[in-house]
Structure 1
Amino acid sequence: MSTTNKFSFVNPNKVPFFYGYIVLFIGTIGVWASIPGQTVGVSVFTDPVKDALGLTRNQFSNAYMIGTFMSSFFVARAGVLFDKYGARYVAFFAAIFLAISLLLASVSVSISEFFKTLFNNTSWIIPFSVISLLFFMIRFSGQGVLTMASRNMIMIWFDKNRGKVNALSSVAVSLGFSSSPILLNRLIDDHGWQLSWQLIAICLLIFSFFILQFYRNNPEDFNMIPDGSKIIEDKVKIKKVEHQFTLKEAKETRAFWVFGLTLAFNSFFITGFTFHIVSIFANHDYSKSEAISIFLPISIIAISVGTLFNILSDYVRQKILLYLMLFSGLLATVGLLLLGNSIRIYLLVIGLGGMGGMFSVINAVSWPRYYGRLHLGAITGKIMSFLVIASAIAPSLFSYSYTTLGSYSYISYLNIIFLITLIIASIKAKNPQ
């Protein structure tokens, strides 16, 4: 226990209640802390940063795609490190790395000018390369590692109540993510994009101290069991899954790919839609304020759906939740394809809200239930790489669909084909336990 509690003043065994609830609280804040590395946090900085760097929207979208795509190759490795060293150290270094990345991003214009002078070249390739590398650092540490470590830690501390606990965390995360664009936009308006990133970086450095103090890897490290502070004794039988799957074994099951690709679709659709939401709605004669306003009802639906089905996930089969998420994806895709009047907007809003709510359930609860806790980092790290790749290519595919083919509708056609394929494949996707 001395090793697992190193550098901390907090002893979980001396807390008067189950320490898992502290893990729930601090882990949820850890997911909040990843917002600067999420699309919802980056998109607010898009216009001022691209203008400062002298990049076009397509160039900036491509830089985002390249940086995010590069990060996907390292996220799976971070999952292995999670299994080896635990959430505490992985999240600690992820928060510091994200802070450093934001500090460098805040001076990206100066870095670009330095290299322009050094190479005596004023080409757009230099700022493009600089921001691509910075996007890699931001997306890897924020969207990838910090999110994975914080969410997995919460799931490891609970078993029977995993769905109920995830309901609480998901509500808080949804509220934080939905309100973050407004708060970040206000921060940029008041202090500019450079100082805003610097202030966020300082907050992350402070939070890294709290990670060391309160993050803990496993209840067993402190002679506890998931769901309660009951001390482990020989006569106590702890319920375990039948088999602790390795990543290799998990990849041999159909459920791994069907669930993973369904989650990746959500990441693809949400990222591409959010990145170009103003342009998408402008093509149907909606104003910017009208476009942004749909996030509120989407959040309300996502929170309601997520809360309900997180609780129900403790009692129902995960496959039912999968079908609900795929159906929500179809609603959202059809809503985008037929966007033009209020009824079709309702389809889009309901679909996005339902898909977002189900994502919070499946992405957290399914993996430990299907494959166990022992190799959870490696498995969820691989799944996170799917999500990162999907979010990497989405902005550019949405952008080229419009700029080259003249409409966002072609993305919807592609999405419908993909979803129907997943629905057919999911028929034989079973719980490997």
Structure 2
Amino acid sequence: MSNPNRFSIINPNKSPFFYGYVVLFIGSIGVLASIPGQTVGVSVFTDPVKDALGLSRNQFSNAYMIGTLLSAFFVSRAGVLFDRYGARYVAFFAAAFLGISLLLFSISVDISEGVKSLTDVDSWVIPFMLITILFFFIRFCGQGVLTMASRNMVMIWFDKNRGKVNSISSIAVSLGFSSSPILIDKLIDNHGWEVSWQILAVCLFIFSLCILQFYRNRPEDFNLIPDGYVKKTKAIEIEKVETNITLKEAKKTRAFWMFGLTLAFNSFFITGFTFHVVSIFGSQGYTKLQAIAIFLPISIIAISVSTLCNILSDYIQHKIYLYIMLTSGVIASLGLLFLSHPIGVYYLIIGLGVFGGLFAVVNAVTWPRFYGRKYLGAITGKVMSFLVIASAIAPSLFSYCFTTFGTYSYISYITLAFLVFLVIASIKIKRPQ
């Protein structure tokens, strides 16, 4: 881009320290800003919103599924736009449109009743179609684009220290995600779900302005290289030569599919679990507060695992992480299957904690490590579409399992079968470079 500092008064070249650390800080906040579009942010609104709109649990879950599936078709394109225009503009528009979507969500009941009055049709189809469209926007902008752009930007500014800085980011993100259901629930209790979404929208508008000021696409735009060394013309030959693999080439490797599908499994399981967490624990006699409280121990384990494995990721083979993730998925699935027994809760906490901690490592560090930085947007955009599709299917599948069989535990048979397939297919995995 001709002017990488356009619309901003912040100049990375004049920073008294490596500007990548500013990118690390603001990029981590960017991932946290996506919470209203993440399942962990939506799940707390599920019961009050569906009741206000007059929708059943299955109808609400199906709207979430359709809206999320539609967003998956566009998120890959957003990855290409990331490679072309950089994180700054892509994240700015994602945050702004996410805020607008939340404002519309806050008046969704009024919009629904208005449409019913104009059309003289009193049917559940109208609120269903309305929130399907709104779910598309918040999932595309929040879970998809804002998360991808913010995380990739941080990874582009670092190379040798990529794992170490991601450990810092992962701690902040894990704490934010784990505490957000409790904070949002308190916000809803104090102000109602409509005003709560409006408050979150205002915060996103303010943050979108911060994006223009502090987000920067590449260190090379400011005569820097990753990790902060000043770029000298005479010293170019000592710079590390980076191998960049295109998306088309990446899709021919086993590693792309195994890591991508494993991350998608985490997205499926944690989305379905989080979306119905109150109902899942309620079916076993637990209270709403007890259900939400499970995220705290999960986050403690996730932060510990993420911190350690991020640091080690600069030195060990990432396929080891893949095997640990698959094992953790099995433990979590068994936890849901035996949730009626006290040990099932511990299995869920351990499985989801370890899987979540490694998810933060692999989803950020593995892709630039395996495939380079040049086509990172296209590659992570494609992987993000796997995650979005998995997260779209999960709530409805969990919901139908409960309404059909009276329990959520049977979903574990599907997840365990898929994990066995991944374990077998991952035996001969190799690093692409």
Task: Settle same-fold status: TM greater than 0.5.
Answer: yes
Rounded to whole Å, the distance in 2 between the matches of 1:232 and 1:147 is 33
1:4-403 matches, within 5 Å, as: 4-236=4-236, 237-241=238-242, 243-403=243-403
Q: How many angstroms does 1:337 deviate by?
A: 0.9
Question: Residue 41 of structure 1: SS of its match in structure 2?
Answer: helix
Alignment check: 8 A CA contact 2:181 2:292 kept: no
What is the identity percentage for the equivalent residue pairs of Structure 1 and Structure 2? 72
The whole-number CA distance in structure 2 between the counterparts of 1:30 and 1:406 is 39
Which one-letter code corresponds to 1:56 in the other structure?
S
Letter in 2 for 1:246: T
CA contact (8 A) 1:260 1:383 kept: yes
CA distance in 2, matches of 1:6, 1:255: 38
Whole-Å Cα distance in 2 between the matches of residues 205 and 277 of structure 1?
30
Could you tell which deviates more after superposition, 46-55 or 388-397?
Answer: 46-55
Partner SS, residue 226 of structure 2: coil
CA contact (8 A) 2:182 2:292 kept: no
Once residues 330 and 118 of structure 1 are traced to their aligned partners in structure 2, the CA distance between those partners, rounded to angstroms, is 51
Question: In 2, Cα distance between the equivalents of 1:372 and 1:15?
Answer: 27
CA shift at 1:280, angstroms? 1.9
Q: Which segment drifts farther, 190-199 or 260-269?
A: 190-199
Q: What is the identity, as a one-letter code, of the residue corresponding to 1:238?
A: E
Distance 1:177 1:407 in 2: 27
Q: Deviations over 1:147-182 (max 9, x none)?
A: 000000000000010000000000000001111111
Look up the equivalent residue of 1:206 and give its one-letter code.
I
Give per-residue Cα distances to partners, 1:220-269, cap 9 Å, x unaligned: 0111010114233232322133x311111111111111000000000000
Q: Distance in 2 between matches of 1:105 and 1:290?
A: 28
Which runs of 5 or more residues in structure 1 are unaligned? Answer: none
8 Å CA contact retained: 2:339, 2:409: no
Note the aligned Cα RMSD (angstroms): 1.2
Report the secondary structure of 2:373's partner residue: coil
Shift of 1:51: 1.3
Aligned to 2:431: 431
Alpha-carbon distance, 1:2 to partner: 5.9
Residues 114-160 of structure 1 show CA distances to partners (whole Å, capped at 9, x for unaligned) of: 21122210110000000000000011000100000000000000001
Asked if the contact 1:87/1:153 (under 8 Å) is kept, the reply is: yes
| Residue-by-residue CA offset, 1:47-78 (whole Å, 9 max, x unaligned) | 11111111111111111111111100110000
Aligned residue type for 1:52: A
Unmatched segments (≥5 aa) in structure 2: none
Alpha-carbon distance, 1:293 to partner: 2.2
- 1:339-388 per-position Cα deviation (integer Å, ceiling 9, x unaligned): 22332321111001000001000000010011110000010001001001
Matched, 1:412 2:426: no
Compute the displacement of 1:398 (Å): 0.5
Q: Secondary structure at the match of 1:100?
A: helix
Counterpart of 1:429 in 2: which secondary structure? coil
On the 8 A contact 1:17/1:229 being kept in 2, the answer is no
Most deviating of 353-362 and 335-344: 335-344
- Distance of 1:67 and 1:247 partners within structure 2: 26
**CA offsets 1:289-329 (integer angstroms, 9 cap, x no match):** 33222211111000100111011101100100111111111
CA distance in 2, matches of 1:261, 1:399: 22
SS at match of 2:410: helix
- Matched-pair contact (CA < 8 Å) for 1:224–1:232: no
Query: 1:204 and 1:232 mapped to 2: Cα distance?
Result: 39
Alpha-carbon deviations, 1:77-133, whole Å to 9, x = none? 000000000000000010111011111111111111121122210110000000000
Check conservation: 1:76, 1:382, Cα contact below 8 A.
yes
Is 2:76–2:378's contact at 8 Å kept on the other side of the alignment? yes
Q: Secondary structure at the residue paired with 1:252?
A: coil
Residue pair 2:106, 2:198 contacting (<8 A) in 1 also: yes
Secondary structure of the equivalent of 1:409?
A: coil
Kept after mapping to 1: 8 A contact 2:95/2:205:
yes
Structure 1 Cα separation of the partners of residues 289 and 197 of structure 2: 25
Q: Is the 8 A contact 2:87 2:217 kept in 1?
A: yes
Question: In the comparison of the two structures, how many residue pairs are matched?
Answer: 432
CA contact (8 A) 1:152 1:376 kept: yes
